[in-house]
Structure 1
Amino acid sequence: MNQSAPIYQQLMNNIKQKIVNGELKVGDRLPSERVMAEKYGINRMTVHNAIKKMVEEGTLISKRGSGTYVSSYPSIESKLEMANTRHLSLSAQIRQKGMKSTRKTLLLRKIRPNRENKDYFPNEAYIYEITRLSLINDEPYALQIVNIPFSKFKDADRFNFETFSLYEYMDDQGHRPTTMITYLRIDSLPDEFLEIMNIKKNQKIFHFDYFGFDDDHTLVEFTKSYHLPKYTSFHYITGRTDNLNQ
């Protein structure tokens, strides 16, 4: 357990981690407060306080005369720092935070580059467009529209992008991005994805554009990624120059 947090919080995090990892499932009964206090070597009142807070959150439910049970996946307390983990797949970033990650492939098709994509892949007759939905604890989190060049990933339509990482596939093909350029803006989600992401029209989200380059400095990925602010954080560094006031 994280020793920097209060003891009750450490216990809460420990229980939540067990739920996310599948060691505890929804409907499972927790050990008694006495047993947990003995197991972790802590005061029984500390255990009681941790369980009470998790009941208030809705993660646990107490049944009089029966015990305490897991009622749902834990609420998300950590946000993903997009700027710090750009070389990891999105699902790996989510798992690093101790949360359940799932994804769905909504569309995978081979297309001719349109006006925008043609600028990024000028020498490609075809590209693959992959539209994927990422979920955190079964709730929509991010929608990604990925474009990769057909000439370097000719069998992408036979790959299971729900089970395996896009970057694992790209690595197997010898063209995993090693340099990533990212642009961020506050935007609205295209109307066709509003229902999928369960948000309202004109609700603002984070829109990331990713440009991934392989070891040969060739563009091998252009991705539009729409993230709900509820689960996303980022940081940036500014520099001061001597010409600032000139």
Structure 2
Amino acid sequence: MLQEYRNRPRDEAAEKIESYIAQHNLKPGNKLPSERDMSEMWGINRMTLRGAIQGMIFEGKLYNRKGSGTFVAYPKLNRNLQDLKPFSAAVKEEGKTLQTVLLSREIIESTKQLSGKLCIKLGHPVLAITRKRIVDDEPVMIEVTHMDYERFPKLMDYDFGKESLYHIIENVYGTLITEGTEKLSVTFANEREAGLLEIEEGTPLFNLSGVVKDADGIPIEYFKSVARVDKIRFSSMLTR
């Protein structure tokens, strides 16, 4: 005889949350009751409830704002993994607003890893740019870009809070961005990332890294990014 299927406690807690959202007609950006209040309301263990909330955050149904609570999520920004268009262009196409905060810009010596990614000598000067991306007034991504400084020295002079890096590369230097490779995995926010993205430490994040090349196959950029799973959806076209 087949055993009767039963939802896990975490799944039942998620169903309670979804029912609450529907019954109270909550909209994107509306706040849920506190974990304590929901736990008492439904007689659910707080650890179970917390697990349900984390699962719904990963699915893009909820999001946490550090120090403020849990909210109903807005529709995610769609990003095609096979698309080399600038992040700013992708955000604009979705009808969303973008702010970019320049966190740091410095010249460092190439490490063994950077030398391999950018095809430059060990110790070669590298321009490292760190930016925070804010979409519709919510921080969604931290990007770290590494480039050959001797090839692109003028990049020290531009305001990347206002200007597109790819636009400058193509229109100032005349370098066409034609191909690249990208890896996608999942990580968890450390203390610094959590603070910058206004989420709780340990929240799941997308972890992206890759190399962008010019028409001659020469590396232009090695990038590493972390992005909020409740704000961005990545997709790819499958062919045979």
TM-score, L = length of structure 2:
0.64
Residue in structure 2 matched with residue 89 of structure 1 by the alignment: 86
Bigger RCO (CA 8 Å, 6+ sep): 2
Question: 99, 116, 119: which one pairs with 2:116?
Answer: 119
Letter in 1 for 2:81: A
- Do the aligned residues in 1 keep the contact of 2:103 with 2:132 (CA within 8 Å)? yes
Instruction: For 1:140 and 1:228, locate their aligned partners in 2 and report how far apart those are by CA, in whole Å.
Output: 8
Residue in structure 2 matched with residue 139 of structure 1 by the alignment: 138
Letter in 2 for 1:201: E
Deviation at 1:155, TM superposition (A): 1.4
Deviation at 1:224, TM superposition (A): 0.4
Deviation at 1:76, TM superposition (A): 3.2
Residue in structure 2 matched with residue 229 of structure 1 by the alignment: 229
1:29-40 aligned within 5 A:
none
Instruction: For 2:224 and 2:207, locate their aligned partners in 1 and report how far apart those are by CA, in whole Å.
Output: 7
Letter in 2 for 1:145: V
Instruction: For 1:121 and 1:83, locate their aligned partners in 2 and report how far apart those are by CA, in whole Å.
Output: 21
- Do the aligned residues in 2 keep the contact of 1:78 with 1:97 (CA within 8 Å)? no
Residue in structure 2 matched with residue 42 of structure 1 by the alignment: none
Instruction: For 1:112 and 1:83, locate their aligned partners in 2 and report how far apart those are by CA, in whole Å.
Output: 30
SS of the counterpart of 1:182? strand
Pairing 1:205–2:205 present? yes
CA deviation string 1:49-86 (max 9, x = no partner): xxxx8x95579xxxxxxxxxxxxxxx7324322325x2
* Runs of 4+ off more than 6 Å: none
1:127-206 aligned within 5 A:
127-171=126-170, 172-206=172-206
Residue in structure 2 matched with residue 35 of structure 1 by the alignment: none
Deviation at 1:102, TM superposition (A): 0.7
Residue in structure 2 matched with residue 77 of structure 1 by the alignment: 75
Instruction: For 2:132 and 2:86, locate their aligned partners in 1 and report how far apart those are by CA, in whole Å.
Output: 13
Instruction: For 1:203 and 1:152, locate their aligned partners in 2 and report how far apart those are by CA, in whole Å.
Output: 37
SS of the counterpart of 1:155? helix
Instruction: For 2:28 and 2:189, locate their aligned partners in 1 and report how far apart those are by CA, in whole Å.
Output: 30
1:118/1:57 CA distance change after superposition, 3 Å: closer
- Do the aligned residues in 1 keep the contact of 2:189 with 2:204 (CA within 8 Å)? yes
Q: Between Structure 1 and Structure 2, whose CA radius of gyration is higher? A: 1
SS of the counterpart of 2:230? helix
Gaps of 5+ in 1: 1-52, 60-74, 241-246
- Do the aligned residues in 1 keep the contact of 2:143 with 2:223 (CA within 8 Å)? yes
1:197/1:178 CA distance change after superposition, 3 Å: same
1:236/1:80 CA distance change after superposition, 3 Å: closer
Identity %: 17
CA RMSD of aligned residues (A): 2.3
Instruction: For 1:115 and 1:78, locate their aligned partners in 2 and report how far apart those are by CA, in whole Å.
Output: 36
Deviation at 1:151, TM superposition (A): 2.0
Deviation at 1:237, TM superposition (A): 5.4
Aligned residues: 171
User: When you count strand as a share of all residues, which structure comes out higher?
Assistant: 2
